[in-house]
Amino acid sequence: QVQLVESGGGLVQAGGSLRLSCAASGRTFSSYGMAWFRQAPGKEREIVAAINWNGGSTDYADSVKGRFTIPRDNAKNTVTLQMNSLKPEDTGVYYCAAGGGYRLLRTKDEYDNWGQGTQVTVSS
C-alpha cells in the first residue's frame, strides 16, 4: 500500500505555470505506476498524465499534451505535475493516484490508491 498527499495547488493566471507535488509514503513506491487525474465542477474525473514505475514511459491527455509533464523521483518518493501555459479549462481538483504493476496504467480503474486532491484555479 501507499499513502499519497498532494500539494502545490492554488490560483494562477492564464498562461502561467504551476507545479503540483505528490508525496508518497511506503517502501514500495518504486513499484507503482503513478498518475494525475483532475475533476472539474460537474464533470467526470479524467486522467491528465501517467508515468510507469521507473519513468521510462509516460502518457498525456490530448488536452494537456505539450503543456504538462509528469516526472517522478523514486529516491524522494515523489511525483510531480509540471503545468505550463495554463488555461481556464485546466481548472479543477487534481488527484494523485498510484497503481500496482510495471506497465504504464492509462485508465482510472487501474488505480487503487488516491490522494485527497488539491484545487487548481486558472483565471482569465
* pLDDT on residue 27: 65
Nearest in space to 32 (alpha carbons), one of 107, 94, 112: 112
CA dist., res. 113 & res. 97, Å (int): 5
Question: Which string of b and e fits 83-93 if b means at least 16 CB within 10 Å?
Answer: beebeeebbbb
Nearest in space to 81 (alpha carbons), one of 29, 89, 93: 93
* pLDDT on residue 30: 78
Tens digit of pLDDT at every position of the chain (124 positions):
789 999 999 999 999 999 999 999 876 777 889 999 999 999 999 999 999 988 899 999 999 999 999 999 888 889 999 999 999 999 999 999 999 878 888 899 999 999 999 999 999 9
Task: Tell me the C-alpha to C-alpha distance, in Å, between residue 70 and each of 35, 43, 95.
Answer: 8, 23, 13
DSSP string computed for 63-113: TTTTTEE--EETTTTEEEEEE-S--GGG-EEEEEEEEESSSPP-SGGG--E
Nearest in space to 65 (alpha carbons), one of 81, 41, 49, 54: 49
CA dist., res. 104 & res. 50, Å (int): 7
Q: Helix and strand tally (H, E) in the chain?
A: 0, 12
